[in-house]
């Protein structure tokens, strides 16, 4: 198995809580900013570089056929398997 890259996107979904966790590389110490749309942006306090996102109520947020932005410049859509 290849060694994970430092800037690789990592996803974890908690089905019971309906929360999607996205990290850029290994989880890092960060500061959280809660947006009014159920998104938590995690960033390094010294550089303000984004290191991850937490999306609460994920399936509801992306259940529509018209995905909505969850963070500036970021759009996603949940596609049933």
- Residue 55 has phi, psi (to 5 degrees) of -115, 110
Residue of 80, 65, 75 whose CA lies nearest to 39: 75
Please, is 60 exposed, middle or buried when counting C-beta atoms within 10 Å of its C-beta (0-12, 13-18, 19+)? Answer: exposed
What distance in Å separates the CA atoms of residue 67 and residue 47, rounded to the nearest whole number?
30
Mean pLDDT of 8-28: 87
pLDDT score of 55 more than 70: yes
Q: H or E segment at 11?
A: strand 9-14
Q: Tell me, what's the pLDDT at 51? A: 92
Provide the pLDDT confidence category of residue 73 given band limits of 50, 70 and 90. low
Residue 68 · residue 39 · CB < 8 Å: no
pTM: 0.68
């Amino acid at each position: 198995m290849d060694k994970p890259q430092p800037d690789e996107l990592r996803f974890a979904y908690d089905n019971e809580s309906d929360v999607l966790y996205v990290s850029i590389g290994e989880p890092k110490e960060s500061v959280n900013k809660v947006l009014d749309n159920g998104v938590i942006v995690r960033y390094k306090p010294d550089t303000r570089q984004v290191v991850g996102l937490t999306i609460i109520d994920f399936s509801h947020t992306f259940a529509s056929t018209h995905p909505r932005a969850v963070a500036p410049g970021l759009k996603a859509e949940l596609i049933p398997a």
